[in-house]
Amino acid sequence: VDLSSVDDINAAVQINQHRIHMLFNIQGYTQGERNEIFALQPAPVQVLYKGFVGTLGASYVQYMVSDRIVSPPEYVGHYTEKLVFMPHTYVVNDYREWYSEIVLREDDKAITRANYQLPSEPRVIYCNFNQQYKIDGPTLRAWVQILLAVPGSVLWLIRFGTSDAAESALREQAAKMGLEDAVNRIVFTDPVSRRLHLHVKALAHVFLDTPQYNGHGTATDALWAKLPLVTFPVRKMASRAAASFAVASGGEGRVTLVRNLRDYVQVAIRLGVEANGERLATLRDELERSRFSSPMFDTKRWVRGFQKAARMLWKG
């Protein structure tokens, strides 16, 4: 039943008439939300999931799907929803089903740095594939420190709709922080098709997360692309998601989960200095193996946990 063109009251009536047992809110306070439907409480059980990383602060959604890393038990008092903890990570993905079947075609460009606007000579490529609004001053300053400490390294970012202004502003601020030749040390490239983008992202060496608002889909991309994910959890749910993914990826995925911004810089520098050494190669090999062994990419395991949680919610 498509309710996209139906007003909120009539949508709520139809949901109620269909006797929907459990209604999921996957928008929260993001674009396209329809919280007014949930406020009318057309279903007996209403659950917040994924699209909005935080509490709604509302009484009409009773539950929220989370995990013990993004929402530590000691923080439950900050949520109006009762928290439903998934056993590993709260986010589900289908990377194992989708991307393990993708192979390059004859008409695809070879996956090389030169073909995808990246420096062709041997360099350390740090990357972050988030939209630029997630980059704050302390994060940019940390990135500059890392680039200054690792000669020849570059930071690879992706162009989005607002990147014209962001590109010049980020480079200008980085230059003020002491990064000479910021035009060449901070590299922007265009997005790549879904079919190929993880092959291309694997050209980087290390993914530097944005601590205050983590990568979610992009952090998952990094782990599947065998990129060590350097991150650390802060207090907000949005700043703890990548830590959840790092732990769920198991083994070496946890190595780059650090405690604070100072450690973040030090670990990133160490990985950059050793970019062509055994340590980074071992990390990437472990992350590749974790695709098929860790909970992070085990969709069936996640679904079993979710079904169990849903039955518990329905039984009250």
Q: In this structure, what CATH number is given to the domain that contains residue 164? A: 3.40.50.2000
Do 58 and 141 fall into the same domain? no
Do 125 and 266 fall into the same domain? yes
Does a structural domain hold residue 38? yes
Do 44 and 108 fall into the same domain? no
Q: What is the pLDDT of residues 25-58, one digit of tens each?
A: 999 999 999 999 999 999 999 999 998 999 999 9
Does a structural domain hold residue 132? yes
* Owning domain of residue 39: 8-85
Q: What is the pLDDT of residues 192-221, one digit of tens each?
A: 998 899 999 999 999 999 999 999 999 999
Strand, helix or coil at 254?
Answer: helix
In 3D space, the residue among 38, 89, 44, 42 whose CA is nearest the CA of residue 65 turns out to be: 89
DSSP state at residue 110: P
Looking from the CA of 174 toward its CB, the CA atoms found within 13 Å total 27
For range 245-258, the mean pLDDT = 80
Q: What is the pLDDT of residues 95-142, one digit of tens each?
A: 998 887 667 888 888 899 999 989 887 789 999 999 999 999 999 999
DSSP state at residue 147: H
Contact by Cβ (8 Å): 49, 237? no
Does a structural domain hold residue 314? no
Q: Is the pLDDT of residue 265 over 80?
A: yes
Cβ neighbours, 10 Å, residue 2: 5
Does a structural domain hold residue 258? yes
Do 79 and 99 fall into the same domain? no
Total structural domains within the chain: 2
Do 243 and 225 fall into the same domain? yes
Does a structural domain hold residue 306? no
Q: Is the pLDDT of residue 252 over 60?
A: no
Contact by Cβ (8 Å): 264, 60? no
Do 197 and 286 fall into the same domain? yes
Q: What is the pLDDT of residue 255?
A: 67
Which residues have CB under 8 Å from 101's CB, separation 6+?
none
Do 272 and 166 fall into the same domain? yes
Q: How far apart are CA 233 and CA 206, in angstroms?
A: 18
In 3D space, the residue among 204, 265, 277 whose CA is nearest the CA of residue 230 turns out to be: 265
Q: What is the pLDDT of residue 49?
A: 96
Which residues have CB under 8 Å from 311's CB, separation 6+?
none
Does a structural domain hold residue 307? no
Do 30 and 145 fall into the same domain? no
Does a structural domain hold residue 90? no
Sheet of 125-127, strands arranged across: 186-189, 154-158, 125-127, 206-208, 229-230
Strand (E) positions, 61-113? 63-66, 82-85
Do 109 and 37 fall into the same domain? no
Do 67 and 114 fall into the same domain? no
Looking from the CA of 192 toward its CB, the CA atoms found within 13 Å total 20
